[in-house]
Chains A and B, each alone.
Chain A
Amino acid sequence: MDILSLFVVLPVLVIIALVFTKGLKQARQIAMTGSIIQLGMAINLLFAYIKEQRITDSIFVFTRDIVWFEELNIHYNIGVDGISVALILLTSIIVLAGVFISWKTYDLPKEFFVSLLVLATGVYGFFISIDLFTMFLFYEIAVIPMYLLIGIWGSGPKEYSAMKLTLMLMGASALLLVGILGIYFNSNADGGSLTFSILEIAQVNIPFEAQKLFFPLTFIGFAVLGALFPFHTWSPDGHASAPTAVSMLHAGVLMKLGGYGVFRVAMFLLPEGALEWSWFFIILSAIGVIYGAFAAIRQTDLKYINAYSSVSHLGLVLFALLMLNKTAWNGAILQSLSHGFMTALFFALIGMIYTRTNTRDITKLGGLLKVIPFISVIYVIAGLASLGLPGFSGFVAEMNIFVGAFQNEDMFHRVVTIISVSAIVVTAVYILRVVGIMLMGPVKNESYLSLPKATWYETTGVLLLLLPIVGIGVAPLWLSDMILKSLQPFLQGVL
């Protein structure tokens, strides 16, 4: 068994083990063990990759190619570069933290953890695939469990939210499928045979007309998952209804599939289409950046605030990808990682606050710093990280994006860049608004004085997420350089 396939196989084994468990204790024990092993594997992969990177020039390492469906030339073709390694590490950390945060899932615990791991399988599979069809397959595996997770374990209008989320993402998948098939049927433009292999298609000069037609389909197909304006409305409702761990995984990992797919498929395989359409999507993503931030100012539900904040932060990822240079791309990848950790941390904390106070309405909360200091202090830190304070990962990512965006000299790029930079002010407003109303000020409700402190599993989950945020923020060089090196071949593809 190769080092990458294990990432798909292990969750499946854990799922099988889970089927035979009884009760919450056994289920979470198995899920935790499985997630810890995955985290170990991800760290091992990181070191193996760093070692491998020194001795090879190929874009993807640890590759493996098994013909899967010969008639259509579909392969189980896997491999990783620095970008996917980093995202796999992100996934394994968030899954483990999610298991800790779901320590007390009393309803159908077995089924809950099974769905969670199905989702994880899909995500891992997506990140290691370098065959379009296999990739799409894993993409669907990751998206489907969402419906169950929200519909069964969610709260509020959960059926509505689950349906909305699933329908919008399925609609996007339909566009994506057309885009992928379009690429597939043009992959013989240079006279070869039809193929789904990303590496082989990258060598082919797909006709400009086809690129122009299929780029927006592929882009939107992926970007809906990355909360592209105006297709973002599934996300606030979906997050609000989802249980904590699902929000964490969804915003932390699943939404990253969007940006990753845009980069790996749409931009890499259809570079001329990207150049042709970039202005249009730049406008949409820049609107998303500002619009999400302003919309967040007016929300009172913590999860809605965080969801709109995600629209803003992930808008920046798409914005950066469209800037078409390596600095901005590096920023986009770093922002994906950074946002993944931060937003997962936010949702974890929101879940902890909600289980204690039974409300997510900030106007009903107040003075939490005094009663649950640990949770509140971490919330302040997460907030500061989110508004791009130096020393946290968000700053590193945003500065890469802004410096990269500023490399484009024409007026249009200048204007949209300055508009996007102004988000740092608006972000500060909505973050500090929450901190001021919810955490500071006098304690609003007498009953809050007796709120329980954070438990060991909550603390572990939270610190697990905080560590990488600070780590990347304080010493970003190794990660940033690793990603930069992986970007080189893509750069030659586009420019």
Chain B
Amino acid sequence: MNISYLFLIPLIPLAVFLLLGIFNKKIKPAVSGWIGVAGLVASTLLSFYAAFQYFFVTGKLDGAYQTFTARTVWLNFTDTLHIDLGILIDPISIMMLIVVSTISLMVHIYSRGYMKGDPGYTKFFAFLSLFTFSMYGLVLATNLFQIYIFWELVGVSSFLLIGYYYTKNSAVAAAKKAFIVTRFADFGFLIGILIIGFYTGTWDFETLNNPEGAAIANWASTSFMGLSVLTWALILIFMGGAGKSAMFPLHIWLPDAMEGPTPVSALIHAATMVVAGVYLVARLFPMYYFVEEGYVLNIVAYVGAFSSLFAAIIAITQTDIKRVLAFSTMSQIGYMMMALGVSGFDGHEGVGYMASMFHLFTHAMFKALLFLGAGSVIHAVHSNYLKDMGGLRKHMPITNITFLIAALAIAGVPPLAGFWSKDEILVAAFENSQFLYSIGVLVAGLTAFYMFRLYFGIFWGKETTYAHKPKESPRSMTIPLIILAIFSVVVGFIPFSEYVTADKLGFVAHLNYPLAAIAVFIGLIGIIFAWIFYKKENDLAERFANAFGVFYRWSSNKFYFDELYLFITRKLIFKRISAPIAYFDKKFVDGTMEGIGNKTLVVANKIKGIQSGKVQDYAFGFISGVVVLAIVFIYLWTN
């Protein structure tokens, strides 16, 4: 398979970024929007063409999907270690290409309407292109270091876009928080990369992931504190992934990241960048599976399951609609992590891996749709808060229908996309651990509940009187909604297990009817509760909240994690480390130097009396010197 043309996929958005970034002021907003969209259309077409070629024409050899690579050396470290830049084509990278291209294109089109009239319009499209370029580079990476490079670049694009409304203090704080929290996670990631490089002599995915290769075969050769060094490396790499994917306890940046413009939240903080952590674990899955008999996968599974439940509980009480969606994203990514964590490798045992990728794919579609729908609502009512909404179904019919489809999809109602992928995840969990499975089912119910709380709260409920009568968004915004709604219905029917599996051989997945029935039943209960509480305006929800006062407050305050982190950074690091160091530097380190200087001055002042200029003083000194030397010499000579 000739893959060199695939280099164009990332390079086109890069070119667009440079063009729009450098000639920012010279390009008219209307033109820059179209340049951005045109670039993305080209990349999207290439991605779909590549996917078609790979999956249906040239990708398979003897029933297994092959890996194709093209690369060039970018930097040499030692004789064996070097950073390559290149592209790697295998089922998951192709799948990610489709996700990134589709969502990014929809967001580009949508933004032409949403950002209309914004003074930074051109800049916004430049940043979107920068992000898309970086994300392509990340998913196509051939080695760990390349992933790290683009990992940092998506991080900075995210920073720039969260802080897009840079005159708002809250946006600035959110952007900083996102960057620093993920940077902290990347510190672990980088150490993990260094360990892998040192002990295996390569960062190349093909070499690392080969089950018979040296890296996996010799995992037990060096250990540290009872675990293989590679296990430590994989834990640290997962730390990086958990930071990017907002897993507990590194999740605190994601809700605040909603300060960015809504299309950004849809693209970066729902569909693509935040699933990079899942992609990273999937990318190294053979290593995770074979090293130390999958020790790290247990951590992945439990962190994922816990995050999933934790976020779902918080999502129930949030009043800012974007924050509900943010916690929902965290919860669903936790699902994907859990599925990866419980997965096996060969054939049907690898259902978790397949389910995780499948859910990543379907989730990207309906979560992007939810965000874009929320954006459409926010655009109409100029508020993020549920209290300012209600009864919008009459004013915004397209947004209403598409939002409903997305909500049904995420709630796992058949035959929408979320139903299929969620079912596979629950199957994988069920086959591995009853405990994880029950968390999964519980989360499914909570998801349906908070999602329909949101839906009823926005489109039904009380008849709010609006200052400006809300109206449906322009076509540039509704068309992406419609397209994504169609995707949210149909993508579930893709026989994913034949294309994307851990062993790349593919298998035939069957619907597990009892498990599916339970999941759907739980989901429907969630929806019904939401219907009772929120469809008509009533005080049931409030009474309920009062009855569970403590729980409500904890959930509503996100279990006080922000406060905990603020305590650690402000009180401990700034006050107890940084300030003392600054003080220490001024008082002691500099003080010592000053002291030496001042002492010199004092001594100089004292001894300058010796240079009195009186001949008799000098004569006295001279003669005493001679006498002393004479005594010393005589003493030495006689001994």
Contact = CB atoms under 8 A, between A and B. Distances in A.
A390 B149 contact: yes
Contact of B590 (A233, A418, A440, A441): A233
B226 interface: no
Contact of B156 (A369, A389, A477): A389
A12 interface: no
A370 B165 CA distance: 11
Interface string A138-157: 00000000000000000000
B201 to A, nearest CB: 11
A69 B175 CA distance: 62
Contacts of A481: 76
A278 interface: no
Interface string A380-405: 00001000011100011001101110
B81 interface: yes
A421 interface: yes
Interface stretch (B37-45, B166-174, B315-323, B425-433): B166-174
Interface stretch (A15-23, A99-107, A293-301, A314-322): A293-301
Given A230-B592, A370-B167, A291 B187 contact: no
A174 B74 CA distance: 43
Given A327-B77, A396-B75, A481-B76, A428 B198 contact: no
Given A391-B153, A436-B176, A327 B78 contact: yes
B194 A406 contact: yes
Interface string B181-207: 001101100110011011000000000
B163 A440 contact: yes
A477 B73 contact: yes
A427 to B, nearest CB: 9
A425 B186 CA distance: 9
A230 B595 CA distance: 14
Contacts of B145: 399
Contact of A424 (B76, B163, B190): B190
A325 to B, nearest CB: 8
B579 interface: yes
A168 interface: yes
Contact of B194 (A326, A403, A441): A403
B514 interface: no
Contact of A432 (B152, B180, B195): B180
A26 interface: no
Nearest to A432: B176
A425 B163 contact: no
A244 interface: no
Given A432-B176, A477-B76, A440 B593 contact: no
Contact of A297 (B75, B187, B574): B574
Given A295-B581, A369-B166, A403-B194, A477 B184 contact: no
A127 B577 CA distance: 39
A476 interface: yes
B414 to A, nearest CB: 44
Interface in A479-495: 480-481, 484
Given A369-B166, A406-B197, A390 B152 contact: yes
A411 to B, nearest CB: 10
B336 to A, nearest CB: 26
B574 A298 contact: yes
Interface in A90-124: none
B197 A440 contact: no
B581 A298 contact: yes
A169 to B, nearest CB: 12
Given A384-B156, A402-B190, A403-B194, A484 B76 contact: yes
Q: Which of A230, A295, A480 has the most CB of B within 10 A?
A: A295
B589 interface: yes
Interface string B129-162: 0000000000000000100111011001001000
B563 interface: no
B585 interface: yes
B218 interface: no
A164 interface: yes
Contacts of B578: 294-295, 297-298
Given A390-B153, A403-B197, A441-B169, A428 B180 contact: yes
A347 B148 CA distance: 30
Given A294-B577, A297-B574, A477-B74, A424 B183 contact: yes
B152 A389 contact: yes
Given A390-B149, A390-B152, A418-B191, A428 B581 contact: no
Contacts of B75: 396, 399-400, 476-477, 480
Contacts of A417: 194
Contacts of B597: 164, 167
Contacts of A41: none
Contacts of B76: 477, 480-481, 484
A367 interface: yes
A418 B578 CA distance: 19
Contact of A440 (B167, B190, B577): B167
Nearest to A311: B585
Given A403-B77, A432-B176, A424 B187 contact: yes
B582 interface: yes
A29 interface: no
A207 interface: no
A311 to B, nearest CB: 9
Interface string B421-458: 00000000000000000000000000000000000000
A58 to B, nearest CB: 23
Contacts of A406: 194-195, 197-198
Contacts of B180: 425, 428-429, 432
Contacts of A418: 191
A420 B578 CA distance: 16
Contacts of B184: 425
Given A298-B581, A440-B167, A428 B74 contact: no
Among A168, A232, A425, A480, residue most surrounded by chain B Cβ atoms (within 10 Å): A425
A18 B167 CA distance: 47
A471 interface: no
B152 A436 contact: no
Given A441-B167, A480-B76, A294 B153 contact: no
Contacts of B54: none
A442 B190 CA distance: 35
A476 B82 CA distance: 12
Given A369-B166, A436-B173, A295 B187 contact: no
Nearest to A334: B75
B179 interface: yes
A399 B592 CA distance: 35
A395 B197 CA distance: 17
A422 interface: yes
A445 interface: no
A327 B73 CA distance: 16
A21 to B, nearest CB: 38
Nearest to B152: A390
Contacts of A396: 75
A-B CB proximity, top 7 nearest: A298-B582, A233-B590, A390-B149, A440-B166, A440-B172, A297-B578, A406-B194
30 contacts: A233-B590, A234-B593, A297-B574, A298-B574, A298-B578, A299-B582, A327-B78, A389-B152, A389-B153, A390-B149, A390-B150, A399-B83, A402-B194, A403-B78, A403-B194, A409-B198, A421-B190, A421-B191, A425-B183, A428-B179, A432-B159, A432-B176, A436-B173, A436-B176, A441-B167, A476-B74, A477-B76, A480-B76, A481-B76, A484-B76
Interface of B: 73-78, 81, 83, 145, 148-150, 152-153, 156, 159, 163, 166-167, 169, 172-173, 175-176, 179-180, 183-184, 186-187, 190-191, 194-195, 197-198, 574, 577-579, 581-582, 585, 589-590, 592-593, 597
Given A421-B190, A424-B186, 15 more contacts: A168-B593, A299-B582, A390-B148, A390-B150, A399-B75, A399-B77, A403-B78, A407-B198, A409-B198, A421-B194, A424-B183, A440-B167, A442-B167, A442-B169, A484-B76
